[in-house]
A and B are shown apart, each in its own frame.
Chain A
């Protein structure tokens, strides 16, 4: 083997030997690095994809839950409005019933009062009649104590009856 200075561009067997060396490097790297690296990258991508999918599913579920909760909220609001409306209606009905009952009670009291008044009036009238009778008797006594002519007697009786009627009417007016 001898060594000498060659040219800058000098093709020789270095080209072939170097290519063989590269081929060996390619085989070794394929086994040492690329296979495990590809496997690792694929697994990582799968893992990332599965985690992304899980995150997406969770997000979707969360979205569904939000929609569900919102729907529930709307229903609850509707229910509360309905309950309030019902309560208001009930209160109104109770108020109306109470009002009606009070009116009925008032009417009844009024009617009772009227009946009582009528009874009172009748009683007063009866009293008056009794008094009239008494006065008639007194008048008669007075009349009888004088000379009684038929005309006088009639006039006195008419006068007396007119007084009685007037007195009776005044008494009734006072009672009322």
Chain B
């Protein structure tokens, strides 16, 4: 067990990268991250199917437990995340995206609680990809709300601040957004591994993982999602 942990610590955070050669191009991927991300997605889909089944009951009847839980979850989603959008109508339109993002990150973070599985969010490719997607989406909504003129105004008014604005909004923001999640999940993974290595004879490993993992995963998913809401809201908000 100690040897296994030692190997873990030696290779901690390093990814096994596979290279595919397709038509002269070398495509490097991390199959483990893709598989873990796929498992997280499947878990979210299973949850969706379960909830969908519960929604079939006629609306007039007393809500069953799942419907009650869904009511509470939707209320929480609405009040804690979507309620931060400046327009309630826009918040309702963003529900599928924000909800999916939250569930996906939550499932990804909680995946490391299951033995033999790893959190895909411990890979910067996943977190930075999501952050870049948020960047693209916020600019898409900016153009839709304020037009190209609004986009120009955002970056070139006043013109002498434009380099700093471009740097902060297009480069620094997605990097900080993506790396924040990656850094936290990775740090949690390192911390738990070291704790397990050091305290393994005294502490039940699964209990420790659960204590660290459940609350931690939930907080990280919430923070990433609320930052997404804030960035999109900043883009559509009228100054």
Q: Footprint of B on A, CB under 8 Å?
A: 1-19, 21-22, 24-26, 28-30, 32-34, 36-38, 40-41, 43-44, 47
How far apart are the CA atoms of A12 and B104 in the complex, in Å?
A: 21
Chain A residues near B14: list those with CB within 8 A.
Answer: 5-8
Known: A7-B14, A32-B45. A13 touches B29 (CB 8 A): yes
Additional A-B contact list (9), CB under 8 Å, known A14-B125, A22-B100, A37-B70: A2-B18, A5-B11, A6-B30, A13-B28, A19-B129, A21-B38, A21-B41, A24-B41, A47-B59
How far apart are the CA atoms of A35 and B100 in the complex, in Å?
A: 12
B100 and A6 contact, CB distance less than 8 A: no
Minimum CB–CB distance from B109 to chain A (whole Å) comes to 15
How far apart are the CA atoms of A135 and B110 in the complex, in Å?
A: 156
Chain B residues near A1: list those with CB within 8 A.
Answer: 18-21
8 A-B pairs (CB sep. < 8 Å): A2-B18, A8-B186, A12-B125, A15-B132, A22-B100, A33-B51, A40-B70, A41-B71
Known: A10-B15, A11-B125. A29 touches B99 (CB 8 A): yes
Chain A residues near B104: list those with CB within 8 A.
Answer: 22, 25
Minimum CB–CB distance from B179 to chain A (whole Å) comes to 9
Minimum CB–CB distance from A33 to chain B (whole Å) comes to 4
Minimum CB–CB distance from B9 to chain A (whole Å) comes to 13
B18 and A36 contact, CB distance less than 8 A: no
Chain A residues near B74: list those with CB within 8 A.
Answer: 37, 41
CB within 8 Å of A: which B69-122 residues: 70-71, 74, 92, 95-97, 99-100, 103-104, 120
Whose C-beta in chain A lies nearest to the C-beta of B58? Answer: A43
How far apart are the CA atoms of A7 and B27 in the complex, in Å?
A: 16
The prevalent SS among residues of A at the interface is helix
Chain A residues near B38: list those with CB within 8 A.
Answer: 21
Whose C-beta in chain A lies nearest to the C-beta of B13? Answer: A8
Whose C-beta in chain B lies nearest to the C-beta of A41? Answer: B74
A12 and B96 contact, CB distance less than 8 A: no
Minimum CB–CB distance from A28 to chain B (whole Å) comes to 6
Chain A CB count within 10 A is highest, among B34, B60, B71, B100, for: B100
B100 and A25 contact, CB distance less than 8 A: yes
How far apart are the CA atoms of A90 and B97 in the complex, in Å?
A: 87
Say if the beta carbon of B130 comes within 8 Å of chain A: yes
Q: Footprint of A on B, CB under 8 Å?
A: 11, 13-21, 27-31, 33-34, 37-38, 41, 44-45, 48-49, 51-52, 55, 59-60, 63, 67, 70-71, 74, 92, 95-97, 99-100, 103-104, 120, 123-126, 128-130, 132-133, 186
* Complex partner residue of A38 from B30, B67, B95, B133, CB under 8 angstroms: B95
Chain B residues near A12: list those with CB within 8 A.
Answer: 17, 27-30, 125
How far apart are the CA atoms of A25 and B120 in the complex, in Å?
A: 15
How far apart are the CA atoms of A40 and B30 in the complex, in Å?
A: 39
Minimum CB–CB distance from A129 to chain B (whole Å) comes to 119
A14 and B126 contact, CB distance less than 8 A: yes
How far apart are the CA atoms of A8 and B17 in the complex, in Å?
A: 11
Chain A residues near B67: list those with CB within 8 A.
Answer: 40
How far apart are the CA atoms of A33 and B100 in the complex, in Å?
A: 10
A34 and B99 contact, CB distance less than 8 A: yes
A21 and B34 contact, CB distance less than 8 A: yes
The 5 closest A-B pairs by CB, nearest first: A6-B17, A33-B48, A14-B125, A12-B28, A34-B96
Minimum CB–CB distance from B133 to chain A (whole Å) comes to 6
B100 and A17 contact, CB distance less than 8 A: no
Whose C-beta in chain B lies nearest to the C-beta of A33? Answer: B48
A19 and B133 contact, CB distance less than 8 A: yes
How far apart are the CA atoms of A8 and B92 in the complex, in Å?
A: 38
A18 and B28 contact, CB distance less than 8 A: no
A18 and B33 contact, CB distance less than 8 A: yes
How far apart are the CA atoms of A140 and B104 in the complex, in Å?
A: 163
B59 and A40 contact, CB distance less than 8 A: yes
B100 and A26 contact, CB distance less than 8 A: yes
